[in-house]
Amino acid sequence: MRFDPQLLSTRRAFLGGLGACLACNGFGAAAAWAGGLKVGAPAPAATLMTLDGQRISSSELLGHVVILTFWATWCSPCREELPLLSDYLVNHSAAGLAILGFCLDPPDKLAEVRRVAQSLRFPVGFMSDSSAPGYGRIWRLPVSFTIDAQGRLAEDGWKEKKPAWTRERLEEIVTPLLAPA
């Protein structure tokens, strides 16, 4: 059998697209979960390199409740929850809330990511420029993790059956962690 680079390229494109579709719809292997995550234990550090070049580490935000949210422009549920998170931050930042947005789009989608990010009130950066190794390979979107003000993991997004944020879920999980404004 002769090696055909065009066939290999076509196959990779198909499999990549299939993987993206499965990830956005919440399908995938449980083996991709971050096995070391434990609610109540110290949260793994995550560092966001923002679109404007600022470096923000979750470990520097001790004293704040931090939501790490992983999203992509092609993920419809992500695009629905981002404005909700932005509004929630506006209403709760005085109580010590911070949100870091890790975008899984490739850097060549900068213009599209900037269009989304300009409407958000929290910093956004490409996952490819950032670091969140303790949270495993991000294979399902959206997925978020909540860190309490003492730096402990308060919510493990891998364990959520319906991981997209809703107002009710924010009120149930995040609001009790916040200091009274």
Angle at the Cα of 73 (from 151 to 113), degrees rounded to 5?
80
State how far the Cα of 113 lies from the Cα of 170, in Å rounded to an integer: 24
| pTM of the complete model | 0.80
Amino acid at 130: S
- Nearby residues of 57 by Cβ (< 8 Å), 6 or more positions away: 45, 46, 47, 48
CB count within 10 Å of CB 155 equals 19
Residue 93 CA to residue 32 CA, distance in Å, equals: 32
Q: Which class is domain 28-177? A: alpha beta
The one-digit pLDDT tens for each residue of the chain (181 residues) are 454 545 444 444 444 444 444 444 444 333 334 567 899 999 999 999 999 999 999 999 999 999 999 999 999 999 999 999 999 999 999 999 999 999 999 999 999 999 999 999 999 999 999 999 999 888 889 999 999 999 999 999 988 878 789 999 999 999 999 987 6
DSSP-assigned beta bridge partners for residue 67: 99, 146
Task: Round to whole Å and give the CA distance between 15 and 9.
Answer: 10
* Domain positions in the chain: 28-177
